Structure 1
């Protein structure tokens, strides 16, 4: 599942996105555009620099969501659009699906060692920045938008492996991180409700990533998963197979023989099988609010 922003000008069956990194206006956008950045954060580079943040997942601090907004505007300019009412883009934007991914996941991975009070402050900052992103696409004329919540990353191997036993909840997950994520999602839903009132002509869906993840995590056998807290690819061994000094891609890392039976790919990213099941729940089951099918039916009836 994307942690960034994308748009698709086709139906919900389309999953092919072109790279937005090219400056060429000739890049095809018929199947959609993806403005994602690997490891992208909600909080600014300045925040991490001033707090002297060092991460086992970063070589350098990645670009944040502001770069995605800039790329989106640059893309519109490359199509010759001067503003939201410009006829050269209005039809495409009216017809497009905008999917705002789980913005903030990378931030919680980096600040997991902070106190719960500090994490709650970061939740509020992340929501403020997500608000800016949603405001941008709405101002540019978006009519069909999905805003994805965050999963309980306290249940990921990266979070559980470093968690003191007394901070584990009844599911065996990191309770401090999940408390911050829960607050984040509640704030996100309140923000979405404000935008729904402000833009009644638009359909804004909340994709309940938290609920969908736990539906699978707590019933793994129903989805053919055997390992819920252990990484498929890594060099840590033991209960979680996760070691920050021996992650996938390093000389000591190995891959499991059956990745589709693992929820986690490398302790941080989910497996392909998990992402497939999550997409099924979000797109075709009742894990979007309102259901994704309502947006599709409404759009096809126009």
Structure 2
């Protein structure tokens, strides 16, 4: 236990995604935040009490870049609602930033409560880097799904089309990342984790 890296999360992504696909407002999504943070706190505490000494807690993904949500809101948001650099939905990414800010505050409290454990945070930055500069990694822009029409449910429908080379895409089905994207995200997170822990600092 003490020699292993535990990844706790990402908790809350499905709650928010279901809320957004159910047309919940931003203020309604914000009411989810305290319960989700409490669940993360409980999960991290449980693994530390069980003997874990290094715990990685992923931040919330940039939801405004999810092809499923881009497809859902297509045509209903004016140009000012999109990030001109990434093509992602601004208010959804702003909400993910809010979640991550509150998560990092909670993790600081957990570190004080468990000084013998290393509790590290990362993920949002690695995914954002991949989305902002997909060409650098061989992926296509803007965010589109390899499978179906950007909606996860359509991937299993009869006659669904699939891209020729999934390694060129960040998203597999509009919600889940492709294997190639997951590999790049994992490598980026682990490399940053290695550099920060070697320097004796928390990944914040």
Q: TM-score range by the shorter chain?
A: 0.7 to 0.9
C-alpha separation in 1, matches of 2:66 and 2:159: 21
Identify the residue that residue 125 of structure 2 maps to in structure 1: 211
Deviation at 1:169, TM superposition (A): 3.3
C-alpha separation in 2, matches of 1:130 and 1:280: 23
Q: Is the 8 A contact 2:139 2:170 kept in 1?
A: yes
Q: Is the 8 A contact 2:151 2:173 kept in 1?
A: no
TM-score under structure 1 normalisation?
A: 0.60
C-alpha separation in 2, matches of 1:223 and 1:193: 33
C-alpha separation in 1, matches of 2:156 and 2:98: 34
Deviation at 1:176, TM superposition (A): 2.9
The runs of at least 4 aligned residues of structure 1 exceeding 6 Å deviation read none
Identify the residue that residue 169 of structure 1 maps to in structure 2: 83
Identify the residue that residue 255 of structure 1 maps to in structure 2: 162
Q: Deviations over 1:131-172 (max 9, x none)?
A: 111111122222111111111021011111112222333332
Alignment pair present for 1:202 and 2:202: no
Correspondence for 1:221 among 118, 135, 142: 135
Unaligned runs of 5+ in 2: none
Alignment pair present for 1:187 and 2:102: yes
Correspondence for 1:292 among 166, 183, 194: 194
Correspondence for 2:63 among 153, 157, 167: 153
C-alpha separation in 2, matches of 1:169 and 1:227: 13
Alignment pair present for 1:231 and 2:145: yes
Unaligned runs of 5+ in 1: 1-92, 235-240
1 or 2 for the larger relative contact order (CA 8 Å, sep ≥6)? 2
Alignment pair present for 1:133 and 2:43: yes
Q: Which has the larger radius of gyration?
A: 1
SS of structure 2 residue aligned to 1:95: coil
Deviation at 1:282, TM superposition (A): 0.5
Q: Deviations over 1:176-226 (max 9, x none)?
A: 32222111111111111111111111111112x111111111111110112
Identify the residue that residue 105 of structure 1 maps to in structure 2: 13
CA RMSD of aligned residues (A): 1.9
Q: Is the 8 A contact 1:228 1:263 kept in 2?
A: no
Shift of the 142–179 alpha-carbon distance from structure 1 to 2, 3 Å rule, reads same
C-alpha separation in 2, matches of 1:229 and 1:117: 26
C-alpha separation in 1, matches of 2:162 and 2:52: 42
Aligned length: 193
TM-score under structure 2 normalisation?
A: 0.87
